[in-house]
Every structure is written in structure tokens, then in C-alpha cells.
Amino acid sequence: MKKKILVVEDNKQNLYLATFLLEKNGYEVITAEDGLEAIEKAKMEKPNLILMDMQLPEMDGFEATRRIKGIPELSHIPIVAVTSYAMVGDKEKALATGCAGYIEKPFVPETFVSEIEKYLQ
């Protein structure tokens, strides 16, 4: 069975980029464009991994992560934070919030998938 990855990202182009790369590598991809939608999709789809952009409209990635980690049946899902080099302290904040790890934007297509696979073990 294909592994499911929930990609949360508000920029449509980047969302498509991540989706494209993951689907090419044999994953099933679900998408969400803000924090609230991410929680809904996570509840419905129970993905194997969540790729969460930290800067989102409505509810940001930190809050969404905190809430997902607070839901018992979802708390085991590893969440990988997508942080931007531009934001000082986001990495530490992401790890403190409960993320399993982080990848830095901009994505490098050559290594993007292998970086995510580390968290799928």
C-alpha cells in the first residue's frame, strides 16, 4: 500500500512542487493550505507523515502541530517542519513544538525526497 503524506503549504506553486516530487517517488499525497484544513485532513486521512510549512495563513504551522500532537489518535504521526532560513529561531521552535525534524526552504529537488524518507521509518 502506498504511504500517505499530508503536505501543508500555502503557496500553490510550492505545494505542487512538493506534491509532484512525492508522487513521482510513489507516495500518495494529500494537501492542505492552512493550519485548520491540515487538522481536518489529518483526522480524515490519518497520513503516515505530515510535511508542515510553519508560516501559514489563519493558523500557523506551530499551532497546527501543537493541536495535532494533542489528538491521541494522531499524536504518533511524525511531522516534518518546513522552515525558512529567513526566520530566526523557527527550527528550535519547531522541534520544541513536537516536530520530528525540519527541512529548510528552498527545497533541493535532488535531496528532498530522501530527506523526508528519513522520517518515515
Partner 1 sequence: MNTFHLMTSATYWLLIVMWAYILFFYIRRIGLKRVESRLFITLIIILAIDAFRTLFESFYFGAWYTSLAGLLPMGVHDFLSSPERWVIPKFLNVAAAALIIGILLRRWLPEEEHERGQQEKHVRELTETIEKRKRAEEELVQANIQLKEMDRIKSEFLATMSHELRTPLNSIIGFTGIMLQGIPGELNTEQRKQLSMVNSSAKHLLGLINDILDLSRIESGKMEVSMERFHIQNVVSEVAQSLSPMISQKGLKIITQIPDETPEIYSDRKKVSQILLNLVHNAVKFTPAGEVRIECKFDSDNLEMSVADTGIGIKKEAMKLLFEAFRQIDGTVQRRYQGAGLGLYLCQKLVTLLGGNIWVESEYGKGSKFTFTLPLRREEKGE
Pairing of strands 79-84, 49-53: parallel
- Calpha distance 105→48 (Å, rounded): 22
* Minimum CB distance to partner 1, residue 85 (Å): 7
Cβ distance to partner 1 smaller for residue 31 or 77: 31
22 is written with which cell numbers? 512525492
Cβ distance to partner 1 smaller for residue 21 or 38: 21
CA R_g for the chain = 13
State whether the Cα torsion 68-93-119-103 is positive or negative: positive
Which residues bind to partner 1, rule: CB under 8 A? 11, 13-14, 16-17, 20-21, 24, 55, 84-89, 105-110, 112
Cβ distance to partner 1 smaller for residue 74 or 113: 113
The number of beta carbons lying within 10 Å of the beta carbon of residue 121 is: 5
Cβ distance to partner 1 smaller for residue 72 or 89: 89
* Minimum CB distance to partner 1, residue 70 (Å): 28
Of 87, 32, 16, nearest in space to 65 by CA: 32
